Structure 1
């Protein structure tokens, strides 16, 4: 029974150790503050844009086409005379939605398949391993382009599902490896000896003790997904009007960079801050979850 108590308390002890490590790192608070601001913008783009004097991103005036930053338009206007600041603010919701939704779907699939493969092994492990090999052998960008090109309507949810469809294998392998390293632990063997069901062992002991590295990588993955969405949109196979996203703004601005560079600079700046903050947060969590990285 003592093994069961130790196993139950292990996740809480590990969480306290991780918190004690990350809270001493300025980069953790910097990235968390930046992401917090972006999440607030994504949740309330309308009120924030109205507060800044630009409530409607689709209120365009062709007579103001390509105006540089100035009074009334802090980020300037795009080629159609629309306010760049309002479009960047409203684009935050779409880009973060795709990044978070794709990562959540990948994590769900990876947890199910990776846990089954890592915990049970045998035929299930071999089948899932071959399935991940098939997906890993298929070019990610090419697959996404083919699927999105054949779609009648490219919505943010569809883009997220397509990106998740081609992105889950790497995360699933990480889950499998992490679960395999935990399933042989003494507290798991003790749970088997006490007659616990497989479901109780997996949910109560295996997953809580193997999720740390997976969640750290998943945090980093959000930034990669946002970049992937922007790349697909930049190539003309991602989101389409009237959707507002950073990728669409970059795709439109590339043609007018020499005459209106601000239309490219400001969406790129927001995209860069988001991706760098997510990568920093993921790296910090990964180091903190590694006992060697704690100091």
Structure 2
């Protein structure tokens, strides 16, 4: 028993060679060496700062409006022009970052964690655990996603951003779970996982140290691609009257309103630019993390 314990410890120290995931320091060093990652990280920090403290970027109150300036183009002191109600559009875009960033980021990475954990369990423990998780996912797959969101949110009398996030997570995890499950199926039979299992490494340690780091890349890529889609989903739900409460400023609601006023292209351009930059930044950061976590790149 002592020899087995020593062997298990040696394997853990060596991280099982082929299945080794990078340490936090290695991950950070590798990422910081990528110029694209550095630029996108700075952009995302700006978006987060914009969402947390919008007063840093503008001193104009977004609720102070003048209907006489409705949809006017850019002018001195108002670089983005005015919206439909004559409010300063620059301040509206700045203040719109908070709900849009919160919904897109929390929903996307909440689904990453939920789908990742459930997919990990379903893929590594075939039988009852796999059947329970997979059949639950099948039931949710059978529901039309948007229709289910509308029905559930319409039944909630007092909606807020956290209720919307909870419903999105409840409906949206099956796709990511299926992807993670299929990836775990291919990883769980690798030589380094079988070696760890044979020498008595606990299942939770195998899952967290060897299976999850080597199976998460496809799910991470899917998550980063879906961040921008979450902004569009928030806009659609708000437009249908089951999303954010009326009067809430967000990029999604601005984008939806702009679709009805083609004579004022600046209403469409600025939210689109912010949404696109945030989406592309997440995609590049996700690709960078995926490349670093690829065990083949460590050889």
SS of alignment partner, residue 12 of structure 1: coil
| Alignment match, 1:33 | 42
Q: Which of 34, 58, 79 does residue 74 from structure 1 map onto? A: 79
- CA 1:290 to 1:199, structure 2 compared with 1: closer, same or farther past 3 Å? closer
Residues 174-212 of structure 1 show CA distances to partners (whole Å, capped at 9, x for unaligned) of: 222232233223333333334333233323333233333
* Cross-structure match for 1:12: 22
Report SS of the residue matched to 2:175: helix
- C-alpha separation in 1, matches of 2:11 and 2:201: 13
Q: SS at the partner of 1:255?
A: coil
Of residues 112, 119, 131, the one that matches 2:124 is 119
TM-score by length of 1: 0.84
- Residue in 2 aligned with 1:270? 274
Aligned to 1:187: 192
Is 2:58 the partner of 1:49? yes
- How far apart, in 1, do the equivalents of 2:27 and 2:223 lie? 20
Residue 107 of structure 1 pairs with residue 124 of structure 2: no
Q: CA deviation at 1:26?
A: 5.0
Shift of 1:117: 0.9
Evaluate the alpha carbon distance shift between residue 293 and residue 83 of structure 1 in structure 2; reply closer, same or farther with a 3 A threshold.
farther
- 1:31 and 1:284 map into 2 onto residues whose CA distance is 10
Give the root-mean-square deviation of aligned CA atoms.
2.9
Unaligned runs of 5+ in 2: 1-6
SS at match of 1:232: helix
Q: CA deviation at 1:24?
A: 6.3
TM-score normalised by structure 2 residue count? 0.83
In structure 2, the partner of 1:157 is: 162
Q: Distance between the aligned counterparts of 2:46 and 2:186, measured in 1?
A: 37
- Unaligned runs of 5+ residues in structure 1 are none
Tell me how far apart the structure 1 counterparts of residues 79 and 163 of structure 2 sit (CA, whole Å).
Answer: 33
Is contact 2:179-2:219 (8 Å) kept? yes
Deviates more, 1:119-128 or 1:83-92: 119-128
Give distance in 1, aligned partners of 2:191 and 2:227: 34
Q: Is the 8 A contact 1:105 1:161 kept in 2?
A: no
Name the counterpart of 1:135: 140
